[in-house]
Amino acid sequence: SDLVDYGLTHSCYDPDETGRPCGACDSCQLRRQGFEAAGLVDPLLAD
């Protein structure tokens, strides 16, 4: 994780006008599960 800035990546099918992921689509759910499995916080979904 030190080599990748995950804040610059996304995989959302329906981001808002600013590019923030919806958090509800299949892709967002898979991404969330991946971050949780890796013990990381997704910077795009962190409040």
Q: What is the pLDDT of residue 1?
A: 52
Q: Averaged over 2-9, what is the pLDDT?
A: 86
Q: For residue 16, what pLDDT band results from cuts at 50, 70 and 90? A: very high
- Is-contact 28 12, C-beta < 8 A? yes
Is this structure's pTM higher than 0.85? no
- How would residue 47 be classed by pLDDT, with cut points 50, 70 and 90? low
What percent of the chain is predicted at pLDDT more than 90? Answer: 64
State the pLDDT at residue 45: 82
Amino acid code (one letter) for 7: G
Q: Are 44 and 21 in contact (CB under 8 A)?
A: yes
